[in-house]
């Protein structure tokens, strides 16, 4: 298990890389928000972005963990997983999809991996 401060630190680091998309899914909807750079935390929820503008509220609870992925076909991402293992939120790093040679940034992908492999569980999927 990972503590709340560690999760907040990792998400702040992810947003600081810029060119990110924050993706939140539920059973009936998917929201994708670009350009959220700020993080504010309360006792139960953290807020990505600024109110009253575009923002996302995330509830970090016991059992949450982080995973960093860098798939062969898709952008690298930092994922917040709930206690049940479901992805609650994904910070996706644009320009890191190796299958899109025209926009792939090898240096960015390497820098992200170096940063997040120290912070969280890493997988290639």
The whole-number pLDDT of residue 20 equals 95
pLDDT at 60: 87
Taking the domain 4-120, which CATH number applies?
3.40.1570.20
Helices (runs of H) and strands (runs of E) counted in the chain: 2, 9
Backbone angles phi, psi at 60, to 5 degrees: -100, 120
| pTM, to two decimals | 0.89
Average pLDDT of adjacent 10-residue blocks, the chain of 125 residues: 84 93 91 91 90 90 88 94 90 96 96 84 55
């Amino acid at each position: 298990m990972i503590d709340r401060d560690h999760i907040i630190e990792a998400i702040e680091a992810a947003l600081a890389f810029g060119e990110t998309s924050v993706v939140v899914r539920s059973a009936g909807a998917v929201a994708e928000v670009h350009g959220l750079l700020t993080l504010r935390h309360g006792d139960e929820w953290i807020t990505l972005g600024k109110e009253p503008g575009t923002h996302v509220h995330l509830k970090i609870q016991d059992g949450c963990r982080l995973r960093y992925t860098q798939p062969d076909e898709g952008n690298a991402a930092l994922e917040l997983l709930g206690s049940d293992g479901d992805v609650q939120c994904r910070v996706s790093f644009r320009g890191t999809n190796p299958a899109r040679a025209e926009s792939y940034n090898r240096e960015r992908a390497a820098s992200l991996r170096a940063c997040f492999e120290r912070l969280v569980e890493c997988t290639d999927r």
